[in-house]
Structure 1
Amino acid sequence: MNLVHKIENWGDSHHPWFLDIVRISLGIFLLLKGINFMDNTAYLRGMIEDQSAVQISSGMLMVIVYYVTFAHMVGGILIALGTLTRLASIIQIPIVLGAVFLTGIFQDPINSMVWPSVTALVLLVIFTIIGSGPLSLDKYFAEE
């Protein structure tokens, strides 16, 4: 058995029930963040432009904005429902890691905007390892 299967089996057998509530909350948070970005794409675009070390073309910038928005919305739904949780978490990690650096963890660690991103990043890594848990669509479909 390779390392990925060992981690998957360990995560499936060591999953406390309260982490399902945390997973659902994280999924709803990411979904709401995606909806917020969809309502205000100028904010996300401005944040990326302000922090960008390299010049990004306007078209590529909009691709990034819509990718982040779509990934947050779809990933949030998948994580909240508990289906394809590991895949959705892996897709979210680079985005949230970018948010941690964009909000300035190294520039101003006291900044109140950075801590939700850091918390989401830690939870995404945890759910990448332990999976969806007993209160999920994955578990429901596996029993049938």
Structure 2
Amino acid sequence: MSNIKSLNKWANAHTYLSLDLVRIALGVFLFAKGVSFISDTEYLENLLSSIDKIGGGMFLIHYIVPAHMIGGIMIVFGLLTRWAIIAQLPILIGAVIINFMGQMNIQNLLLALFTLAICLFFVFYGSGKNSADYYFKMEK
């Protein structure tokens, strides 16, 4: 717990508007990806077909879409940002693995790796000063 508090203190001391805009863009991107998956479930099923041997395909579909949509909204507002991003990490790691198990699509691989890197940054950085987390912390 003290590690998280020290990370929050460091992040709040080094908060820049550009990092908040990156966090908001990440949340909008994840929300839009969730909307695209829910509007074209056949595309999502085709993506998951390479790991269909493992099982749990319907569980994955019902986890990916809400995690992207709800997590994206939470990341945009900076509400429980670390928890929302931690929920995204298995999906993003799976997106990278799918590219190696199925048909390699370099554009999807780069997009998944870039999004994963940004998410890992915000797991450590947190939501910053311009967020709901910071606002609620200051209300105490």
The two structures share one fold, judged by TM-score above 0.5: yes
Q: 1:23-74 CA deviation, whole Å, 9 max, x = no partner?
A: 000000000000111111111112111x217342xxx311111100010000
2:128 maps to which of 110, 125, 133: 133
CA distance in 2, matches of 1:9, 1:85: 15
CA distance in 1, matches of 2:20, 2:9: 17
Quick one: which amino acid aligns to residue 32 of structure 1? A
1:63 maps to which of 42, 59, 67: 59
Partner of 2:107, secondary structure, is coil
Q: For the structure 1 residues 141 and 55, does the alpha-carbon distance in structure 2 shift closer, same or farther, using more than 3 Å as the test?
A: closer
Residue 31 of structure 1 contacts residue 72 of structure 1 at CA under 8 Å; is this kept in 2? yes
Number of positions where the alignment pairs a residue of Structure 1 with one of Structure 2: 138
Residue 23 of structure 1 contacts residue 79 of structure 1 at CA under 8 Å; is this kept in 2? yes
CA distance in 2, matches of 1:55, 1:12: 42
Q: Return the structure number with greater helix share.
A: 2
Residue 15 of structure 1 contacts residue 130 of structure 1 at CA under 8 Å; is this kept in 2? no
RMSD value over aligned CA atoms?
2.2
CA distance in 2, matches of 1:99, 1:20: 25
Q: Structure 1 unaligned runs (5+)?
A: none
Cross-structure match for 2:79: 83
1:73 maps to which of 63, 69, 92: 69
Q: CA deviation at 1:120?
A: 0.8
Identity %, equivalent residues: 36
Q: For the structure 1 residues 63 and 87, does the alpha-carbon distance in structure 2 shift closer, same or farther, using more than 3 Å as the test?
A: same
